[in-house]
Structures are given as structure tokens and as C-alpha cells.
């Protein structure tokens, strides 16, 4: 079943529009669209069951009703009333506060795309509480954690997370061609020229770097492969779920040694599964923290992480050469390097 058949033409158009064109051409969705879609699935389910507006049974009906109501002098506010009822529906399905807010934000983004403003001010959204704290890393603790990995591939991947600040999506979709010439010519640090596709279809060009430690673990990993990689081969041919699972498994051994006994033994919330505090994205957070503590400028950190900068600054940073950026990053390399032994 296509997205249009499942969730309606409005959601189909929106999700495709916020996805990179080359991804859509392959019949897939980009990372932002993939994040938004579950919220629409749950909205569709809710609308099929709700009785506040019996004539609204799917997202297309909802869109048509809201659009028509905006033009009326005497309004019935289907958007406000249904969103307010959608929130407890999700909470009763054991959705976390952050998830509830995210799903409602996805609905707002859908309508904003069609230039229709809807508000959640009357929806009684749960407070934005951080329910899964990320581990407060030091670079030494990162080293202890990564060196406990049995797999050369995961040791390499973990080190690249902390040295680049990149996400699962960035590293797990990276072809060998990104580093082949640099690896074969002993260039250090590796410079990764990347593009992040944002939700409104503008591109952010940025660079990330892999220093001597990351190259050391890559050589170790490459030597363990049964055959050489081709340019189009993914460097890490694994799924995001596999990575999250592996990190969670290693964290079970790591955390009792690092977390105070009373904190490590604290019971989890009943009926809610907590996310691993040592998840891959915690290393992305660590990357930012280590650079910030090292007095690296915020604009440079934002650039390394692929965040959007002002037009003038973004153009200046992109036009700076790879070798010039290598010199800049090399001054920060020690902040992102743990001892192997």
C-alpha cells in the first residue's frame, strides 16, 4: 500500500517534499519524513475511532474540514478539539511525553506546508521532560566503553561517532568512495565533505573529520573484512537497529562500573522502556560537549555537526579548503581522542 493510499494525498505530498529528490526516486523517504510518518499513522488510527466529529475518519477528511473551517465566520475548530483529544489518546497508548509532542508537531508541520496555521496551545500537551538522559561522557569513559567492543567494525564505528559528531544516518549511509583516496594515500585526518538535507529542501554543506585514532580503528576493521571494499560499498553495511542493539548490550556491562550503585539499580518506569543512555547519539552529544569545553567556537561546532549557519558564514566556511580545515580540526583532535592502551 502506498503512502497516498494509506494516509492520504496530503501526507504523501508532504513527506515526499521534505525528502531528498534522489531518495524519492528510489521509492524511499528521507530521515525527516521517516521521523514524521509514525505520527501520521497514529493520527489516522485515532481519527478512525474518534466521535467528536463523526464525519472525519481519516487525515484527508481532517485536512478538508480544517481548511473549510478557517474560512468560516463561525468556527467549530476541528483542529483544536481533535488535537486536544488526540493527546490523551496517545498517552493512554503509553506514548512518552516527548513522542506525544513530536507527533503533534508533525501534524502542525503538515498543515504549515499547505500554509494553514494550527495551534497546540489548547491541546494540554504533556511537559517537555527529558525522559532518557544521555550518559555524561568524559573522553576517558568513551575510550573505556569503545575498547570494550569485541567487534572491529563497532570499535571503528564508535570512534567515528565521537570524532565526527555524525548521526547513525550519516555514517551508515556513507560509501567507501568518501574516504578511499585519502585512505590509500595515507592522508590524515580524513576529510568528509557532506551535505545534510533539511526538511524544507535546503541543503547544508559541511565537513567532518576522522583523526589518527579513527584511522587506526578503520585499518583494524578493514583488515578484518573478507574482501576489499568497492567505491559504492557502504563502509558500515548494518542497520540503525543493529547499532542501537549492540550499544545497548555493551552498555549493560559498562554502566554498573561507571554509575553509582543507587542510580544503576533504580527501577525503570512501569510499562515504559527507557532508552540506553550510552546510545550512539550520546556520543554526538559528547562530541559537542568536548569541543565546547575545549573553547572551540560555537559556529565551528555547528558547522562540524551540519547545522544551518547564517548565509554569509556558511558560504565562508564552505569555501575554505579541505587542507585549511584539516589544520583547524587538527588543533582540536586531542579533545576527541582517547588512549588506545
pLDDT tens-digit map of 156-209: 999 999 999 999 989 999 999 999 999 999 999 999 998 875 544 456 789 999
Distance CA 287, CA 171 (A): 15
Average pLDDT in the chain: 89
Q: Are 288 and 300 in contact (CB under 8 A)?
A: no
- The domain spans of the chain are 3-113, 139-336
- Residue-wise burial string across 19-51, b where 16 or more C-beta atoms lie within 10 A, e elsewhere: bbeebbeeeebbbbbeebbebbebbbebbeebe
Question: Quick one: pLDDT at residue 249?
Answer: 94
139-336 CATH, one of 1.10.443.10, 3.10.20.30, 3.40.50.2300, 3.40.50.300: 1.10.443.10
Q: Are 90 and 99 in contact (CB under 8 A)?
A: yes
Residues 6 or more apart whose Cβ sits within 8 Å of residue 314: 204, 205, 303, 308
pLDDT tens-digit map of 11-34: 999 999 999 888 888 889 988 899
Highest mean pLDDT among 123-137, 231-245, 302-316: 231-245
Distance CA 59, CA 82 (A): 11
Residues 6 or more apart whose Cβ sits within 8 Å of residue 53: 65, 78, 81, 82
Residue 165's nearest CA partner among 279, 334, 304 is 304
pLDDT tens-digit map of 82-108: 999 999 999 989 888 889 999 999 999
Verdict on whether the full-model pTM lies above 0.75: no
**Confidence category of residue 268, pLDDT binned at 50, 70, 90:** very low
Amino acid at each position: 500500500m502506498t503512502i497516498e493510499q494509506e494516509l492520504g494525498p496530503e501526507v504523501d505530498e508532504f513527506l515526499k517534499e521534505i525528502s531528498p529528490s534522489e531518495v524519492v526516486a528510489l521509492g524511499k523517504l528521507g530521515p525527516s519524513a521517516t521521523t514524521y510518518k509514525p505520527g501520521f499513522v497514529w493520527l489516522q488510527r485515532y481519527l478512525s475511532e474518534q466521535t467528536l466529529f463523526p464525519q472525519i475518519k481519516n487525515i484527508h477528511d481532517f485536512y478538508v474540514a480544517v481548511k473549510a473551517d478557517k474560512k468560516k465566520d463561525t468556527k467549530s475548530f476541528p483542529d483544536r478539539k481533535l488535537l486536544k483529544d488526540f493527546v490523551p489518546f496517545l498517552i493512554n497508548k503509553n506514548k512518552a511525553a516527548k513522542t506525544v509532542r513530536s507527533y503533534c508537531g508533525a501534524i502542525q508541520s503538515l498543515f504549515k506546508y499547505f500554509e494553514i496555521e494550527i495551534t497546540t496551545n489548547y491541546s494540554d500537551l504533556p511537559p517537555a521532560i527529558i525522559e532518557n538522559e544521555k550518559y555524561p561522557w568524559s573522553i576517558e569513559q568513551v575510550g573505556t566503553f569503545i575498547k570494550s567492543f569485541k567487534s572491529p567494525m563497532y570499535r571503528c564505528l564508535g570512534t567515528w561517532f565521537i570524532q565526527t559528531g555524525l548521526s547513525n544516518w550519516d555514517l551508515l549511509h556513507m560509501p567507501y568512495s568518501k574516504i578511499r583516496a585519502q585512505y590509500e594515500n595515507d592522508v590524515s585526518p580524513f576529510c568528509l565533505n557532506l551535505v545534510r538535507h533539511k526538511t524544507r529542501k535546503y541543503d547544508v554543506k559541511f565537513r567532518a573529520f576522522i583523526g589518527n585514532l579513527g584511522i587506526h580503528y578503520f585499518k583494524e576493521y578493514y583488515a578484518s573484512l573478507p574482501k576489499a571494499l568497492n567505491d559504492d560499498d557502504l563502509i558500515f553495511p548494518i542497520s540503525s537497529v543493529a547499532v542501537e542493539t549492540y550499544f545497548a548490550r555493551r552498555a549493560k556491562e559498562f554502566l554498573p562500573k561507571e554509575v553509582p550503585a543507587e542510580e544503576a539499580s533504580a527501577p525503570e518506569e512501569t510499562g515504559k522502556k527507557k532508552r540506553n543512555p550510552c546510545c550512539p547519539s550520546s556520543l554526538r552529544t559528547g562530541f559537542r560537549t568536548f569541543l565546547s569545553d575545549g573553547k572551540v567556537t560555537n559556529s565551528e561546532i555547528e558547522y562540524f555537526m551540519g547545522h544551518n549557519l547564517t548565509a554569509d558564514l556558511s558560504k565562508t566556511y564552505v569555501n575554505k579548503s579541505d587542507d585549511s580545515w584539516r589544520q583547524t580540526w587538527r588543533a582540536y583532535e586531542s579533545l576527541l581522542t582517547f588512549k588506545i592502551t
